[in-house]
Chains A and B, each alone.
Chain A
């Protein structure tokens, strides 16, 4: 179990750790005190993952280019 702050983890890392936490707890070979800590970490990881999954907003923009093909900005694209 790493001590990385959950808030800074990528979704993938958090999910992977959550899986390992669940696995460890399911194996049932963790001492009680550790298992409580593990459980708390698992809960935090789950919250974090859920938050990441909630950030699911579609936003489509198109880069605008000048005559030389250099980007000048973006314009919204309404995806149908």
Chain B
């Protein structure tokens, strides 16, 4: 024992504390250098100085970790207590407190289970904020004009989307190129979503009315950018309806919850985005056909309805038959009645006229005048006789009486005679005037009753020779007719077509006879 101790002690170099601390530090840093350490995150402290301190532990040990302030922004994730992570960085040892620790420059979640657990926690947190609420989901436009696609400009994803869009309904597509994995993915995707939303409508590049965020399949780590909070928040904030299509159908990332619609694949996103043009054209053609068909059918129905109704309507002739017959009868009666009336009036007129013939009246008047003159003359004669006699008596008397007395008597008698003569002449004149007045009145009556006034109302009198015709039968057999109108008479050869023929033939015969 002594020997060993001595020997050992003798040969062992002697360090100062600082020397050994420095030696350990160099040893740790040179021997271990860059390491990856997996462990569960324990206590996490973000110091006021900006440096980050945390512990990594497993069931037996604890490793102190720290990230300097300048290194913190480069971390893709902040360690959270309980999280299984892999921290990468340099091992260092500090002599100050005899400690060694890991300067972690990169921290990633270790293992799928752990990642999913973290994702679950994030999801819960964002859901609690209402980021995924159904009320915020916007309906996708039925037929977008411009589709903004946020994805890698290379690779199969954008090609699949463009192909599918072309097959269904070619549209204007604007691609916003982004990294779809790695540290740049999340910030670029978030910026692209916000960038599309910031485009003014109608500008250039055109503002899409639908966004697709797409990425092909990959490991959960590959897709991790789409699980970042910043991406989920940008998707939820997007004014433009957004379809997420990240990974395969079985992959679900946080953006899927924030998007307005989740497509299982990028191809499916294209299908969700636009309808099939050919189907729409077919639909439209179908609508058009139905439109004209239903219009034609309703027209047909109407036409049939009208035909049926028309059939129910009585014939116009039938409707008019009764009144028309009545009219016929009435007009017949009317003309007959008129004829009768005219005939009767004519009879009356003739009767009245017979007593009213001016010649007759004049002769009567003449006779009266003669009688009157005769009487006047015999009266004068008588008077003269009387005068003569009186003269004789006078002469006799004169002989007896004085001439003077006689002369006075004579003068007186002559005056009496003159007076009587005047009165008689006056009486005769008045009588004549009265008779002339009566004659005029009678003539006026006669004229009023005359058929001339009837002619003025549009009637006409048909005569054959001297007789007045009142029957068509008579007219048919008359040789010639004379029609008297209001203002005169005209002659017509009173023969019908048939009798004219015979007439013409007779004329011909006449000519033959003449020649």
Give A residues with C-beta under 8 Å from B.
10-12, 15, 18-19, 21-22, 25-26, 28, 30, 32, 35, 39, 42-43, 46, 49-50, 52-53, 56-63, 65, 69-71, 73-74, 77, 79-80
Contact = CB atoms under 8 A, between A and B. Distances in A.
Nearest to B286: A22
Contact of A60 (B143, B162, B302): B162
Contact of B290 (A11, A22, A65, A70): A22
Contact of A63 (B169, B172, B177): B177
B294 A28 contact: yes
Contact of B280 (A53, A62, A65): A53
B283 interface: yes
B63 interface: no
A58 B171 contact: yes
B172 A59 contact: yes
B7 to A, nearest CB: 68
Contact of B295 (A15, A18, A35, A77): A35
Nearest to B162: A79
A62 B177 CA distance: 7
Given A12-B143, A60-B173, A74 B291 contact: no
Contact of B165 (A18, A26, A58): A58
Interface residues of B, number: 38
Given A26-B290, A63-B175, A79-B162, A53 B284 contact: yes
B477 interface: no
B287 A19 contact: yes
Contact of A71 (B171, B195, B283): B195
B55 to A, nearest CB: 36
Closest 9 CB pairs of A and B: A12-B142, A58-B170, A25-B294, A59-B172, A62-B175, A79-B162, A26-B294, A74-B205, A11-B143
A63 B153 CA distance: 10
Interface of B: 141-143, 153, 159, 162, 165-166, 169-177, 188, 191, 195, 199, 204-205, 277, 280-281, 283-284, 287-288, 290-291, 294-295, 297-298, 301-302
Contacts of A57: 170, 172
A73 B173 CA distance: 14
Nearest to A11: B143
B173 A65 contact: no
B291 A43 contact: yes
Nearest to B199: A71
A49 B295 contact: no
B283 A15 contact: yes
Given A15-B283, A22-B294, A63-B177, A46 B288 contact: yes
Contacts of B165: 58
A39 B356 CA distance: 87
A46 B281 CA distance: 10
A66 B143 CA distance: 32
Contact of B204 (A15, A58, A74): A74
A12 B139 CA distance: 13
Contact of B284 (A50, A59, A60, A74): A50
A21 B173 CA distance: 34
A22 B287 contact: yes
Given A52-B143, A65-B177, 15 more contacts: A28-B297, A30-B298, A35-B298, A39-B295, A42-B291, A49-B284, A56-B170, A58-B170, A58-B171, A59-B172, A60-B162, A61-B175, A62-B174, A71-B195, A80-B159
Nearest to A43: B291
A32 B298 CA distance: 8
A70 B199 CA distance: 11
A65 B178 CA distance: 10
Contacts of B301: 28
Contact of A61 (B173, B199, B287): B173
A56 B169 contact: yes
A69 B112 CA distance: 31
